[in-house]
Amino acid sequence: MRLHRFFIAASFCATLAGCAGMDPNALVQSGTLATQAAMLSDADVRTLSDKSCTQLDKENTIAPASSTYTQRLNKIAAQLGNNINGVPVNYKVYMTKDVNAWAMGNGCVRVYRGLMDLMNDDEVRGVVGHEMGHVALGHTKKAMQVAYAASAVRSVASSGTGVVASLSSSELGDLSEKFVNAQFSQAQESAADDYSFDMQKKKGLDPSGLVTAFNKLAKVDGGQSSMLSSHPASPARAKHIQDRIASGK
pLDDT of 150-187, one tens digit each?
765 444 443 444 556 656 778 788 888 888 888 888 88
Point out the residues that are catalytic. Answer: 131
- Helix (H/G/I), strand (E/B), else coil: 93: strand
Reported as a single tens digit per residue, the pLDDT across 204-213 is 999 999 999 9
CA distances from 153 to 29, 30, 69, 174, 243 (A): 8, 5, 39, 12, 43
Please give the single-letter amino acid code of residue 76.
Answer: I
- Give the residue, 203 or 144, on which the prediction is more confident: 203
**What is the average pLDDT value for the chain, to the nearest integer?**
80
Q: Residue 227: pLDDT above 70?
A: no
Q: Are strands 108-112 and 90-94 parallel, antiparallel or unpaired?
A: parallel
Q: Are 174 and 48 in contact (CB under 8 A)?
A: no
pTM above 0.85, yes or no: no
The single-letter code of the amino acid at 85 is N
- pLDDT digits 0-9 by tens, 46-90: 888 999 999 999 999 999 999 999 999 999 999 999 999 999 999
Q: How many residues does the chain have?
A: 249
Q: What torsion do the CA atoms of 96, 173, 176, 68 make, to the nearest 10 degrees?
A: -20
Mean pLDDT for 225-249 is 77
pLDDT at 231: 57
Q: How sure is the predictor about 138, in pLDDT bands with cuts at 50, 70 and 90?
A: very high
Q: Rounded CA gap, 21 and 105, in Å?
A: 34
Q: For 154-163, what is each residue's pLDDT tens digit?
A: 444 434 445 5
Q: What are the extents of the domains in the chain?
A: 43-143+167-247
